[in-house]
Amino acid sequence: MSSSSATKNAPPSLLTQRLNKGASKDRQVHHLGGYAFGPALRIERYAMGNGLSILLVEDHAAPTVAYHTWFRVGSRHESPGKTGIAHLFEHLMFNETEHLAAGEFDRELEELGAESNASTWLDWTHYDIAVPSSAFERVAELESERMQHLVLREAQVESEKEVVANERRYRVEDDVEGSVGEQLWATAFERHPYRWPTIGWMADIQGFTVEDCEKFYRTYYAPNNATLVLVGDLEPERALAKLQESYGGYRAAAIPDPPLEAEPEQTAERVRELTKMTPTWKLNLGYRSPALGHPDHLPLSVLTEVLFGGRSSRLVKALVRDREMAGDVRGSLSPLRDPGLLEIFVSGREGFRADQLQSAVDAEMDRVLAEPISADELERAKARIELGLLQGLQTNEGKASTIGFYEVVLGNPAAGFERLQALNELRPQQLRDLAVRYLGRNSRTVIRVEPQPGLAAAGEGE
Amino acid sequence: MSASSPLVLLERDASLPLIHAGISTRSGADDDPPGLEGLTRIAGRLMRRTAGGKSPDEIDARVDRMGASLGLDAGHGGVALSGVVLERSFADFMNLLEETLTSPGLALDELERLKRETSAELVEILDSDQQLAQRWFLRSVFEGHPYGRTVIGTERSLAAIGVEDVRCCLAREFRRDSLVFAFAGAVDAERAQQAAGAIWQRLPEGGGAPPPPPEPVAAGGRRLVFVDKPERTQTQILIGGIGSHPRDADHFALLLANTVFGGTFTARLTQEVRAKRGWSYGAYSSLGYDRQRQAFSMWTFPKAEDAARCIALELDLLQQWWESGITEEEFVWAQRYLVQSQAFARDTATKRIGLKLDEMLNDLPEGYHDEFVARVQAVSLEQANAAVRNRISLEHFVVVVLGTHSVIGADVKKAIPNLAGERVVSFDTE
């Protein structure tokens, strides 16, 4: 192990020149530029002839490498009746390949000491492997194998559908917050694919066939639809040579645009009332919010922090501490390619109904519209955002996740730090103007949850 | 004899302008007096909220202004006041820790508010099937032992806690010889020592680690606790009993055997329950420890219709593991996995300091983590299989099922041969 700064290497142009000697067009690697990533690190961007994007950060602080593969496909690419296939497919990617029997992929990774996981969301699918640096080359072989040589069999697809159905029961059907959140998005969006959950509707999950999965794989799992993010204890030339060997034989595919329908503007408040097996009332609100790439997103994220970030934030202080109406208040701004929601979840305390919780939320929202954010509130929010970003960068895994996320959603892997810099330009008045623009009641959706009658315990029976 | 300087652990890493800082005590909720369960947690939180006699609002705003987080975790064997702060605010952060420990206001109205908040947390837990199952599992495995007691408290015990109880609790826990200061990140030894010393010298002398709780004892045969909750489409199932402690001579052998049984994604349990049958999104077994042996447990969450056959399968797998052990091939694989994956147990300064604290606070053999790889490599296949038979009981274990009893209760009971006792409790039984 050496220091955290990068070691001296050949400049990228010389390096690619050496790598491309005698290589076919698909295998050639081109250096497309670099980005500062914080004070000490640098992201180098490469592309292979077949369209595979590669973002590489050399950091020798620990003898590990984060090997992340991002595919630009998520539930936004699905259609009604086939919801959840991107997520189901993420599960199937851990199965049999042409050269590995079922289970061998994970078994070998574990034997190498690697930790692997995956996640799917509205805009992307992400496979992450944390690998001891000594095993990097074998992981490149394993990871590239499943990009193009997956084998889909009926028994495995059926079993994995059952696993996903169980995941849905765990995260949604038997989870109050999960099921309410799903209803919020389904009510707030009428046309855009963000209206269905990434995990998919239960009937759709149970209806998938091997053919559906094959079609999805052949459509979206191609090198030109993927970005590799490699961070850690690696030597660039050797790493790129291995990637050339592992992925260079793959051909680019024609990736279709997602079947998107623009979401019409919301002009009136939408309200749904649900009854759930829960001891207290809940309230879930969603205000239409801008896409991550919109200039308003960053200031709105600061406003979200002022309102919901930590115990000193306005709504947490008002509802949890001062008025003791809620056990929990949370707010988050969706970081998506297309406009999403500023989502608020309130879990009431016993004795407080959803309409009372909503009145209290509204009072605080009205205050934002009426009074400017103080300079102190703004500074606190900025400091919290800075802390959050830095905390996410403590491991190679964290760095690779941050880089890959901003690359896939914005096309800019260094956007995390750039957004941090831009915070310095923000002024309190801007936040008030934003509140007027985005926090109107006509552009929001409200889900109220009433506890099911008779929930009270029957007492202990032996 | 009292120490002449504070005990300070440090892992320096200046690659990011962040510092993790924490102060841990060596006694925790196990020392809560009977009837005052939850006292340690309440006392620690009240101290955190009234540092320097200030209001919680002032303190929370100050923490946010620094670019910091500061929390208090209470466990069975200790309390940790810890957080992370931007390097530029380190001095102020340490001043806040000093005010927290040396001059908390402990205002009565804040205590009452905190108790009401904690009561609300107890209600919130009713929404979490996983937490409810876990609560009944520990309560049942460690019946009559401190590890079966609640850390958060009950409605009745919370009501009984007064300011004087809080003062006594803090006076017992926060003494010079009871504390371990830990720092990780962009701070050097001199600055860390100085910051810790400034707090330490203002605290009362004495303290030290209290004796550990008694060794937990397995008893009672095979017992079923059914936590009845209406309308569950899915169940939460925990099966297990007393596990192992790193002081046990066969601890590493059992760790290896458990890695094969349910310790990873390709372990037997996950393969049989999830990969082959699709019955549960997760299927794992684990070994926990505090200052004494904690539980060995298997965790699955199949849909209601699959619960009984999933339990039957798990018990079959448990019996096979106990009777036939693991194979040479499995053993070699598990050894490689545990050795290679150690890179991720210590790849950040925060993780490395966590390992040091774990060793110190949980009475682990000296060098437990530093010598982890060598100790794993020293285990033989025969030792691994003997450890399963020695530590895992097929006669004494608890099965906790959270589900809807009227729908699956009878089938679940049939799935457990030689059941010595069955108990059905409503999910909202405190």
Q: Cβ distance A406 to A414 under 8 Å?
A: yes
Which helix (H) or strand (E) is A227 found in, with range?
strand A226-232
Predicted confidence at residue A455, as pLDDT, reads 60
Residues in B closer than 8 angstroms to A328, CB to CB, are 124
Q: Report whether pLDDT(A454) > 90.
A: no
In this prediction, residues B81-99 reach a mean pLDDT of 98
Please tell me the distance in Å from A106's CA to the nearest CA on chain B: 7
Angle between helix axes B405-414 and B307-324 (nearest 10 degrees) is 30
Q: Is the pLDDT of residue A6 over 70?
A: no
Q: Can you tell me which residue has the tokens 């997103």?
A: A297
B396 vs B417: CA distance, rounded Å: 12
Cβ–Cβ < 8 Å for A341, A185: yes
Q: What is the pLDDT of residue A456?
A: 39
Rounded to two decimals, the ipTM of the complex is 0.93
Strands across the sheet containing A64-71: A29-37, A41-48, A53-58, A226-232, A64-71, A125-132, A115-120
Closest CA to B384 of B268, B294, B287, B250: B250
Over 90: is that where the pLDDT of B198 sits? yes
Residue B68 and residue A135: Cβ atoms within 8 Å? no
Q: Which of A44, A78, A90, A182 is catalytic?
A: A90
Looking at the predicted structure, is the pLDDT value of residue B192 above 70?
yes
At A453, the pLDDT band (50, 70, 90 cuts) reads confident
pLDDT confidence bin for A371, thresholds 50/70/90: confident
Angle subtended at Cα B16 by Cα B13 and Cα B18, rounded to the nearest 5 degrees: 85
Report the percentage of chain B scoring pLDDT > 90. 97
Binned at pLDDT 50, 70 and 90, residue B114 comes out as very high
pLDDT digits (tens, 9 = 90+) for B321-364: 999 999 999 999 999 999 999 999 999 999 999 999 999 999 99
pLDDT of residue B1: 53
How many whole angstroms separate alpha carbon B65 and alpha carbon A382? 9
- pLDDT beyond 50 at A460: no
Predicted local confidence at residue A1, as pLDDT: 35
E-assigned strand segments in B231-375:
236-242, 283-289, 293-300
Residue whose C-alpha is closest to residue B16's, from A416, A64, A233, A61: A61
A52 has a pLDDT exceeding 50: yes
Chain-chain contact of B15 with A458 (C-beta, under 8 angstroms): no
> If pLDDT is split at 50, 70 and 90, which confidence band does A8 have?
low
Tell me if A102 sits within 8 A of A95, measured CB to CB: yes
In the predicted model, is pLDDT for residue A363 greater than 60?
yes
Mutate to test the interface with A, among B119, B128, B129, B233 (most CBs of A within 10 A): B233
**Cβ contact B264–A110 (<8 Å):** yes
Instruction: Convert A356-387 to b/e letters by CB count within 10 Å (16 or more is b).
Output: bbbebbeebbeebeeebbeeebbebbbbbbbb
Q: How far apart are CA B83 and CA B184, in angstroms?
A: 11
Phi/psi region, residue B145 (left: phi>0; alpha: psi -120 to 50; beta: rest), is beta
- pLDDT value at residue B225: 98
Q: How confident is the model at residue B397 (pLDDT cuts 50, 70, 90)?
A: very high
Confidence of residue A2 (pLDDT cuts 50, 70, 90): very low
Any catalytic annotation for residue A90? Answer: yes
Mean of the per-residue pLDDT values of chain B: 96
The answer on pLDDT for A9 being more than 90 is no
Nearest to A76 by CA among A22, A125, A32: A125
Whole-angstrom distance, CA of residue A232 vs CA of residue A59: 4
pLDDT of residue B2: 64
Residue A42, helix vs strand vs coil: strand
Q: Does pLDDT of B49 surpass 60?
A: yes
Crossing angle of the two packed helices A415-422 and A396-410, in degrees rounded to 10: 80
Indicate yes or no: CB of A395 within 8 angstroms of CB of B347.
yes
Q: What is the pTM of this model?
A: 0.93
pLDDT, mean over chain A: 93
> In chain B, pLDDT over 70 holds for what percent of residues?
100
Q: Are A243 and A48 in contact (CB under 8 A)?
A: yes
Helix (H) or strand (E) holding A418: helix A415-422
